[in-house]
Amino acid sequence: MTMRQWIRAIRDRRCGFCGVTIERGAPMVEITLHRLRSLLRCPSCAGVPVPTDLPPLAAPTTMGGDLTPVAVTARAWLPYADRDER
C-alpha cells in the first residue's frame, strides 16, 4: 500500500527525484511504501498543487526544561550510602 501526504520539512531535505534542496518549513510530499520506506518529493516534482490548508511548521520544543547541572554527589542519592553522609 502506498500513501502520499503533504507535510512541512522539519529540517533541510533533498528531493528524491530532482535533487533540489527542500528548506526547513517548505511543503513536500512524503510517499510511504509499505510502511518500510519514505520517498520525498518537492512541490514541482509532486505533480499536484500544494494544499492551501497545510498547517505551518510548529516551533521546536525542548524536553525536560532546564538543563543546568545539578550539584549532587553520586553517593548522596544511592540507597546504600552511609547514613551519616546524607
Provide the residue ranges of all domains of the chain, joining segments of one domain with +. Answer: 1-49
Question: 20 pLDDT exceeds 90?
Answer: yes
Greater confidence (36 vs 61) lies with 36
pTM of the model: 0.64
Question: 18 pLDDT exceeds 80?
Answer: yes
Half-sphere exposure of 54 (CA within 13 A, CB side): 16
Kindly indicate the confidence band of residue 37, based on its pLDDT and cuts at 50, 70 and 90: confident
Alpha carbons 33 and 3: distance in angstroms, whole number: 7
User: Nearest-CA neighbor of 16 among 44, 35, 36?
Assistant: 44
Query: For 10-14, 20-24, 61-65, which range has the lowest pLDDT when averaged over its residues?
Result: 61-65
